[in-house]
Amino acid sequence: MLLFLYVVFGIWLVATAINQFEWKFWSNVRALDCFGLLPKWTFFAPRPGTNDVRIVYRDHLKDGTRGSWVELPSTPYRNALVRMFWNPEKLENKAVFDLVQALGMEYSACKTHPAATLVSIAYIQLLDPIMKRVRNDETIARQFALITTRGHVPPRKPEILMVSLAHPFDPV
């Protein structure tokens, strides 16, 4: 039984090493890895990601006032050693990051018609969970912003990437 485990983990180690390269013959194996068992590390990327993207939103009320900015709840921070072995939130964080990247590319591509990004898939996917957040009876619209921060320890200097229009709610 021990020999079997050595063989399995040995194959996994070799497969992980091969997975780090962009070889054509390996693309079929990578396509079969639906559970993400073969990691791909990019330690030496030209510009590694060092910022976190955060989504904040605020409500527009019937009396014309605007509420304060509230951060869309994100995943809890875990220490690096724990994240190395247990990081189920990575997928959600990556999804938000990818949507922000896609929105940026769409905005750049539509510079002559910036309003076109309002109907882009990335924009709508970012807007959807924000509009579904609980609201009170006085709220008539909601606006969101994308900001980046660096590090996990305050003070973090936020940089504004984008501020949306105020999106009205359907009358109740």
| Segment 47-86, tens digit of pLDDT | 566 677 888 999 999 999 999 999 887 666 677 777 777 7
Say whether both 27 and 101 belong to one domain: no
- What is the number of structural domains in the chain? 2
Say whether both 9 and 80 belong to one domain: no
Residue 43 falls within a domain, yes or no? Answer: no
Q: What number is the average pLDDT over the span 114-120?
A: 81
- pLDDT in the model for residue 89: 73
Quick one: which of 128, 103, 129 has its CA closest to 116? 103
pLDDT digits (tens, 9 = 90+) for 9-47: 999 999 888 888 878 888 888 888 777 788 877 665 555
Please give the structure tokens belonging to residue 53.
Answer: 């993207």
Say whether both 11 and 64 belong to one domain: no
- pLDDT in the model for residue 5: 93
Phi, psi values for residue 124, rounded to 5°: -65, -35
Strands (E), 14-157: 51-61, 70-71, 139-150
Q: What number is the average pLDDT over the span 95-121?
A: 81
Give residue 61's domain range: 51-168
pLDDT digits (tens, 9 = 90+) for 149-160: 876 667 678 888
Task: Enter the DSSP assignment of 129.
Answer: H
Quick one: which of 57, 54, 6, 16 has its CA closest to 156? 54
Q: What number is the average pLDDT over the span 85-99?
A: 78
- pLDDT in the model for residue 170: 84
Say whether both 110 and 148 belong to one domain: yes
Residue 39 falls within a domain, yes or no? Answer: no
CB 157 within 8 A of CB 144: no
Q: Which three-class secondary structure state does DSSP give residue 141? A: strand
Residue 38 falls within a domain, yes or no? Answer: no
